[in-house]
Amino acid sequence: MVYIHGGNFVHMSGGSLLYDGSVLSQKGEVIVVNVDYRLGALGFLVTGSGDGDAVGNYGILDQRQALKWVKENIKAFGGEPGRVTLFGQSAGAQSAMIHLASEESSALFHNAIIQSSPFSIPYKTHAEAIILGAHFASLLNCTARDINCLRQKNSVDIAQAQFISRGKLSSLRYLEEFEPWGPWVDGVTVKAEPITAMDKGFFQKKPVMIGTTSEETRIYIYNAWDKPIDTVVYTAAILATHPNHAVEIMYEYPPDEPQDQRNNLAVLATDFIFGCATRHVTRKMLDYGVSDVWLYIYDHAFSFPGWGNMTFCQGHVCHGSEVPFVFQSAGRGGFKYTPDELSLSDLIISYWSNFAKTGDPVGMPGSGVKAVPDWPRYHVEIQQKQWPYQHFRTPKSFVDPKYNAPYCDFWDKVGYDN
């Protein structure tokens, strides 16, 4: 199981204690490989398209090189080169989807687990990437395409310029500003925008497990606005994000909390960017002939104080809430699971590892994997009636046949362009 970490393409490391794979490896009886890749400007800077220019998407190429290494070397560690599962969360999930759409990456893995990919956040165009690169260079007192000047700067200056440049305007697309450093659509390494790639069938037909948490964007909304927002700001955010359907969206998600609209905005954004966009993607997979697709919703707010000073996520299922349960790594941070939480984590590890070993989270007859409750896969007949999720929560997880269906039906009608 090869894991690509998240972190907005600028933060975190595969060596983080949060991603310690020892429990997943031991309980799931799998080999876990965590990879690092170049982040921020070092991984995604674009200065132009000529000889000597930085052309971006280096972080994605790093990941592919790691997959090649695994294919060539994992047998020496007791692994199977013909049974590699790629999994990732957030930016790592976006990365996994890029590899799923890549012919060059296709031969390097066999299954994919997509945890919380923000499908409605667009990738940069070449022009937008150039503008961001110019802001970055200016902050380092270099001209936009002077690679030699940029290479003379030390890591501290680069990190500071990278951080400040994130706040500079490089796109008129509102959501793009939430992920300023990251992939751009070059048509080769990155085929197309995330939703567009799925709509056009730009992906390999491999077994996929895919899902989100129930309150994905709360962490982003409350970080962006550290004070209550009124209806005017709420309306402005909708207009900036989806101007062609703003009235319909306001009708579907009315501002019913006059003192503070942040929770309403988080519910709306979670559906649009994550939850409903993910359901849309699973339907496209079926349309293009992928027969092995499993969808989940993670809906448990952990009991321990793992959010630190982000107290607005305590008691909520924010983006990333499932990660310490996939890896059962909370103990590395000095936290302790309740008995119900430990059972939930064990269940998730069983599904994830069964999928890695057999291509099915439940396992296959005679496979010898740990027995788990049924998790229906999707097929054309079931699509006409319902869209069941594996609903992860305590004290007991269950199959939810129509989770959030009316709102996702709405977003399927108005579309995910922004």
Say what the pLDDT of residue 110 is: 96
Say what the pLDDT of residue 152 is: 94
In this prediction, residues 173-197 reach a mean pLDDT of 87
The secondary structure element, H or E, covering residue 261 is none
Which of 414, 416, 408 minimizes the C-alpha distance to 247?
414
Q: Is 309 helix (H, G, I), strand (E, B) or coil?
A: coil
Instruction: Check pLDDT > 80 for residue 298.
Output: yes
Burial class (CB in 10 A: 0-12, 13-18, 19+), 141: exposed
Say what the pLDDT of residue 346 is: 96
CA gap 412, 179 in Å, rounded? 24
3-state secondary structure 350-374: HHHHHHHHHCCCCCCCCCCCCCCCC
Q: In this predicted structure, which of 213-217, 259-263, 386-390, 402-406 has the lowest mean pLDDT?
A: 386-390
Looking at 90, 95, 170, 329, which residue is catalytic?
90
Say what the pLDDT of residue 379 is: 63
pLDDT per residue as tens digits for the range 107-135: 999 999 999 999 999 899 999 999 999 99
Contact 119, 203 (CB under 8 A): no
Instruction: Check pLDDT > 70 for residue 22.
Output: yes
When the pLDDT of each residue in the chain is averaged and rounded to a whole number, the result is 92
Q: In this predicted structure, which of 18-27, 188-197, 264-273, 368-377 has the lowest mean pLDDT?
A: 368-377
Residue in the block written with tokens 């924010």: 318
Instruction: Check pLDDT > 80 for residue 418.
Output: no
Q: How confident is the model at residue 363 (pLDDT cuts 50, 70, 90)?
A: confident
Say what the pLDDT of residue 11 is: 92
Q: How confident is the model at residue 244 (pLDDT cuts 50, 70, 90)?
A: confident
Say what the pLDDT of residue 172 is: 60
Q: Is 381 a catalytic residue?
A: no
Which of 306, 305, 281 minimizes the C-alpha distance to 293?
281
pLDDT per residue as tens digits for the range 372-417: 899 988 765 555 556 789 999 999 999 998 899 999 999 999 998 7
Q: In this predicted structure, which of 4-8, 61-65, 378-382 has the lowest mean pLDDT?
A: 378-382
Comparing 143 with 171, the larger pLDDT belongs to: 143
- pTM for the model: 0.94
Q: How many residues are present in the chain?
A: 418
Looking at 128, 193, 215, 216, which residue is catalytic?
216
Q: In this predicted structure, which of 24-33, 97-106, 238-247, 375-384 has the lowest mean pLDDT?
A: 375-384
Instruction: Check pLDDT > 70 for residue 93.
Output: yes
Comparing 387 with 205, the larger pLDDT belongs to: 205
Say what the pLDDT of residue 23 is: 97
Pair type for strands 389-392 and 398-400: antiparallel
CATH number for 2-227+274-414 (one of 3.40.50.970, 3.40.50.1820, 3.10.20.30, 3.40.50.720): it is 3.40.50.1820
CA gap 354, 13 in Å, rounded? 26
User: Domain ranges in the chain?
Assistant: 2-227+274-414
Say what the pLDDT of residue 370 is: 85
